[in-house]
Chains A and B, each alone.
Chain A
Amino acid sequence: MNPYRVMPGPEHFLPPAAASMGIRLPNPGEGHINGVIVPEEKAYEEAARQFLMAKVPTIFPGPLVLWAWNEKAAKKATAIRHLYETLKECVTPQQHAMLIPMPDYRPKYPKINPEIEINPNHPNLTIWHNKIDCCMFVGVHCHQANLSLKIIRGGTSCYTIAMCAQAGHEDAMLSFRDASVEKIMKLAEWVRKLKGTVQVSQVVSKSGSSN
């Protein structure tokens, strides 16, 4: 039997929780790529490569960093904005880097505006609408991130990265753990380092890059 790998979808309507398929979380100093544990350095390189390869690389900051509820959160917000500005500088004119907030976990009725926000209960709407093919979650509480990451894997072909402040996310295709200001800045450095060395993805699916 082939071991399970956490790959871009669409997997199916209800993809299994990666943990139930034997995917385990990285130890400190490690990350995972597609469910395979790797040294953290490798994860930086691959995350930067995925960002630069994507047509619409996007960062989704969640409530833990959107609100300046303590000093640490405020510093992380500065680092995330820096990462986004770096990404914007390093992509080609054909690419479109985005920064879209997840301000609320509550399901919003009658609808969310997928152009300007993402909601964990139907993250696929924002991914489809903006044709996002690579995204990074940061500052999203674990449960909501896992829920969202699974829905994205189930219904889109978007590559997911988790910059997780706890033990990592097995439901993302690539995950860091113990996210800090330093780690976010380091990822920005990697993006700058790989600028111009990565070919933009040519994959076009029938109904947009995110299927």
Chain B
Amino acid sequence: MSKERIKIAPEFFDIMPPEYQDLVNRATYGKEDRGWKDIGSAKELIEEHSLCAGCPESMAFRYILASLPNPEDTVMVGSTGCTSLVFPHVAVHNIHSLFGNQNAIASGLKRALTVRFPGRIKDVVVLAGDGATVDIGLDMTLQAWFRQEKFTTICFDNELYANTGGQESGLMQKGFVAKMAPVGKMFEKVRLPEIARESGCHYVVNCTVSKPSVVEKVIRNAVHVAREIGPTYLQLYTPCILEIGKNSMEGLQEMRDSEKPTERFAYKEYISEPAKQLLAEIAAKEKEKKAAAKEQLAAQA
């Protein structure tokens, strides 16, 4: 597994747009311990992404792409919304699905990949907005979990329909007034993380993307558990700064404010028993590997 799989023909290297040259030359494919620390020296997403300046979704994208454990064998499934405008800029296979259908598409895709590539690890990761996950796509989201489909669902929760100008979503807070929802939300924010747990997800986390190390940890856990055991769900707060009236520098503070212990994005995690066992095994193996590397280093010195 390496960059061999994504080589530009040498005759055309000079004419390829620079972002493709960068994504190939400076991506971290094949690097076992890739993670958020590669951000800055490696390349996961090009600079000219299409999100608003300072949108936390762009940070979330970078952290997630840098943390995928197996990017060359990962297929991401997106849905319509602000996120979908970013996918053309990433160097990971991805499919754009009809709004709301993402978990149905991912179910078929994961099964097909398992049949087509027996013995090879193929990860499927859904990444969609709250409107796609909780409103129009709720049926597909839940059915995939009921069926124990082995892929990860990530919801970028910005608590409204951002891409279409600010309509109310199931994940919006009660009482919130948006540009196209002037009356204010009349009922509570849907408790999807709890629903996910009850619907059969083996690993569920609700948090913000303020800390890259946390995003890395939950992404790796979610992908590993989905690969071996069953569905996993991450609900990540990526505030729409445009809709809540913040400027481009204020996204991070907004996330920090919302993750305080009494707030709605305080870190919450659910891990099923089999998932706990798996994660413990992975942690033990990593510890062993690190110890062996340390010993080797000491022997060389």
| B-binding residues in A (CB < 8 A) | 61, 65-69, 73-74, 77-78, 80-81, 99-101, 103-104, 106-110, 113, 116-117
- Are B12 and A77 in touch, CB under 8 angstroms? yes
Known: A66-B8, A108-B88, A109-B85. 15 other contacts (CB 8 A): A65-B9, A66-B9, A68-B8, A68-B9, A69-B5, A77-B11, A101-B12, A101-B15, A101-B17, A103-B16, A104-B88, A106-B88, A113-B17, A116-B15, A116-B17
Q: Which residues 219-276 of B sit at the A interface, judged by CB distance below 8 A?
A: none
CB-CB nearest in chain B for A74 = B9
- Are A107 and B88 in touch, CB under 8 angstroms? yes
| A-binding residues in B (CB < 8 A) | 5-12, 15-17, 20, 48, 50, 85, 87-89, 96
A108 to B89, CA, bound (A): 7
- Looking at chain B's contact residues, the main secondary structure is helix
- B285 shortest CB reach to chain A, Å: 33
- Are B50 and A65 in touch, CB under 8 angstroms? no
- Are A61 and B88 in touch, CB under 8 angstroms? no
- Looking at chain A's contact residues, the main secondary structure is loop
- Are B89 and A66 in touch, CB under 8 angstroms? no
Q: Which residues of B contact A61 (CB under 8 A)?
A: 12
CB-CB nearest in chain A for B86 = A109
Query: A67 with B9: in contact, given A104-B88, A109-B85, A110-B50 (CB under 8 Å)?
Result: yes
A99 to B11, CA, bound (A): 11
Q: Which residues of B contact A74 (CB under 8 A)?
A: 9
Q: Which residues of A contact B50 (CB under 8 A)?
A: 109-110
- Are A66 and B17 in touch, CB under 8 angstroms? no
- Are B11 and A80 in touch, CB under 8 angstroms? yes
Interface centre among B6, B11, B16 (most CB of A within 10 A): B11
- B45 shortest CB reach to chain A, Å: 13
- Are B88 and A81 in touch, CB under 8 angstroms? no
A103 to B17, CA, bound (A): 8
- The 9 A-B residue pairs with the shortest CB-CB distance, nearest first, are A77-B9, A109-B50, A106-B88, A81-B11, A109-B85, A77-B11, A68-B9, A68-B7, A108-B88
- B156 shortest CB reach to chain A, Å: 17
Q: Which residues of B contact A80 (CB under 8 A)?
A: 11
Q: Which residues of A contact B96 (CB under 8 A)?
A: 106
CB-CB nearest in chain B for A103 = B20
A66 to B16, CA, bound (A): 8
- B284 shortest CB reach to chain A, Å: 38
Q: Which residues of A contact B16 (CB under 8 A)?
A: 66, 101, 103
A80 to B11, CA, bound (A): 9
CB-CB nearest in chain B for A110 = B50
- Are B17 and A73 in touch, CB under 8 angstroms? no
A65 to B15, CA, bound (A): 13
A68 to B85, CA, bound (A): 27
- Can you list 14 A-B contacts with CB-CB less than 8 angstroms, sorted by A residue number? A65-B12, A67-B6, A73-B9, A77-B9, A77-B10, A77-B11, A81-B12, A99-B15, A103-B16, A103-B17, A104-B88, A107-B88, A108-B89, A110-B48
